[in-house]
Structure 1
């Protein structure tokens, strides 16, 4: 039971840090919401977006059934986010909350309530 509370506390802390990011770096936050929304609309895995932001090669997240030209457009949008001068602030948050997977972190960005994400494992 204590483990579940710690997980929920982590989600609340992450949400708070994302709010601070939104206040202190509004342009970065706006770009982040844009790319997270695009990821959701294109039905891509949030882990793919996270791996692109961290320059990691995670083949299990790479889209298999997406036209190359569409994937290229998506990657361009992620690269625009990565070119933001304040991107390290976001990367620091991602590192700090590595125990919270990318999907939960990015859903918090879109305004999801921590209680709804706590314990959820079906979102990738």
Structure 2
């Protein structure tokens, strides 16, 4: 899937992430922990976002996977999906999914918007 993001769109997301961090620090921490787990397992951020948002994640399923580890990961994402204290993160993901969960996660990790501008292949 190819996604194109403008600097303006990315800057809005970066601002919303800063608001989330300031206003809902526990939710932001849970989100960052999910992102770090995803990165550690070398799964895609798009896969993580689809799982949390209850979308079809099959096309983003990690190629190299150990079924046991994947099942534990999916359970953890399901917990976040159902967590009432994760609602602001889900709202942020929903509001900005057009720029991709991948870009949202990269911004949350501290990447600068100017480095994410333009088309990108999300897998």
- Contact 1:39–1:46 at 8 Å: present in 2 too? yes
Gaps of 5+ in 2: none
1:37-52 superposed matches below 5 A: 37-52=36-51
- TM-score by structure 2 length? 0.86
- TM-score by structure 1 length? 0.86
Q: Which has the higher contact order (CA 8 A, sep 6+)?
A: 2
Distance 2:73 2:97 in 1: 24
1:50-89 CA-partner distances (Å, limit 9, x unpaired): 1101111232101232111111221232233224323221
Give the CA RMSD over aligned residues: 1.9
Aligned to 1:78: 77
Moved over 4 A (4+): none
Distance 1:98 1:26 in 2: 21
Distance 1:110 1:51 in 2: 18
- Larger strand proportion, structure 1 or 2? 2
Gaps of 5+ in 1: none
Total equivalences in the alignment: 120
Aligned to 1:97: 96
